[in-house]
């Protein structure tokens, strides 16, 4: 069963490990035992920062160091990596200790993000920098394509909150209106409600945080806030 799960994950990653034990190690959290993905995570974090930094350096030749650092931080932060992990449906493949399994570790952002970094480290060790770079840039392409030097460093929820404060209005309210699916496949529907309009916005995602962010994006657009 694990082998089949790994094969499906490899299809989503667009990369095949000749030895599936390399992938299994990358997915093994420290709660499972002494043999875990922490070293691969350390390596993958460094490689990811380099690959994304190099891509931004080439993409924005006029950008200053501070601008490049800010853009890279947006790309490699934990929230972004956790979103990527959910797109890969990585949670169902994690190897966790019993305590982490019971507490829902397969949906925890930090564990998902660390596992993405560990997979990057494993691909680097198995196939070298060129193949690793090609995979990482393919995974990040949709996000890189939306970037500009002027991209706001603040996420949609922060921007909406600051706008409401500037208007001396109550803070936005995020309400769970539906939860569907089971286990790792749960989907959350969130409504964003603000005092400036009677029309809430709603979004559905595999985590409450991501659904809230998407609902905030829709509310920013509805209020015509750039």
Q: In 53-208, which ranges are E strands?
A: 173-180, 187-193, 201-205
- The owner of tokens 């380099």 is 50
Q: Same domain, yes or no, for 126 and 165?
A: no
The pLDDT of residue 153: 52
Which of 110-114, 132-136, 176-180 reaches the highest mean pLDDT? 132-136
Give the domain CATH number at 214: 3.30.160.20
- Active-site residue, from 10, 18, 19, 45: 45
Domain end among 145, 179, 200 = 145
1: confidence class by pLDDT, cuts 50, 70, 90: very low
CB 194 within 8 A of CB 208: no
Residue from 10, 19, 28, 46 nearest 129 by CA: 46
CB 189 within 8 A of CB 176: yes
Annotation marks residue 117 as catalytic: yes
- Between CA 151 and CA 170 the distance in angstroms is 26
Residues that constitute the known binding site:
41, 114, 117
The pLDDT of residue 107: 85
Domain end among 145, 171, 187 = 145
The tens digit of pLDDT for each residue in 58-83 reads 999 998 888 888 889 888 988 889 98
What DSSP line would sit under 27-56, residue for residue? Answer: TB-GGG-SS-SHHHHHHHHHHHHHHHHHHH
Percent of the chain at pLDDT > 90 equals: 53
Domain count, the chain: 2
Q: Is the pTM of this model over 0.75?
A: no
| Boundaries of domain holding 81 | 2-145
The pLDDT of residue 219: 92
CB 86 within 8 A of CB 112: yes
Residue 97 DSSP one-character state: -
- Between CA 122 and CA 120 the distance in angstroms is 5
Residues that constitute the known binding site for Mg(2+):
41, 114, 117
Calculate the alpha carbon distances from 208 to 30, 186, 216 in Å: 25, 10, 12
**Which of the two residues, 174 and 157, has the higher pLDDT score?**
174
89 three-state secondary structure:
coil
Domain end among 145, 173, 194 = 145
The pLDDT of residue 217: 87
Q: Region 168-185: what's the mean pLDDT? A: 84
Residue 132 DSSP one-character state: H
24: confidence class by pLDDT, cuts 50, 70, 90: very high
- Active-site residue, from 83, 100, 117, 212: 117
Residue from 203, 223, 67, 224 nearest 147 by CA: 67
Asked if residue 150 belongs to a domain, the reply is no
The tens digit of pLDDT for each residue in 124-163 reads 999 999 999 999 999 999 888 888 776 655 678 888 888 8
The tens digit of pLDDT for each residue in 181-213 reads 766 567 889 999 999 999 999 999 888 888 898
Q: Same domain, yes or no, for 31 and 129?
A: yes
């Amino acid at each position: 069963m694990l082998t089949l799960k790994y094969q499906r994950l490899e299809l989503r990653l667009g990369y095949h490990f000749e030895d599936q034990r390399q992938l299994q190690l990358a997915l093994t959290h420290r709660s499972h035992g002494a043999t875990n993905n922490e070293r691969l995570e350390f390596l993958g974090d460094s490689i990811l920062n380099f690959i994304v930094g190099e891509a931004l350096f080439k993409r924005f030749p006029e950008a200053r160091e501070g601008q490049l650092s800010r853009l890279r931080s947006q790309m490699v932060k934990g929230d972004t990596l956790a979103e990527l992990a959910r797109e890969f449906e990585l949670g169902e493949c994690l190897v966790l200790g019993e305590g982490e399994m019971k507490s829902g570790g397969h949906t925890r952002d930090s564990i998902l993000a660390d596992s993405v970094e560990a997979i990057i480290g494993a691909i680097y060790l198995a196939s070298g920098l060129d193949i690793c770079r090609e995979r990482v840039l393919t995974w990040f392409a949709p996000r890189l394509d939306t970037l500009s030097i002027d991209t706001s460093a603040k996420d949609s929820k922060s921007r909406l909150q600051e706008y409401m404060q500037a208007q001396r209005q109550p803070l936005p309210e995020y309400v769970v209106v539906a939860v569907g699916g089971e286990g790792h496949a749960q989907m959350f529907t969130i409504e964003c409600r603000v005092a400036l309009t009677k029309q809430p916005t709603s979004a559905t995602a595999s985590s409450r945080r991501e659904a809230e962010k998407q609902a905030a994006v829709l509310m920013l657009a509805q209020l015509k806030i750039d």
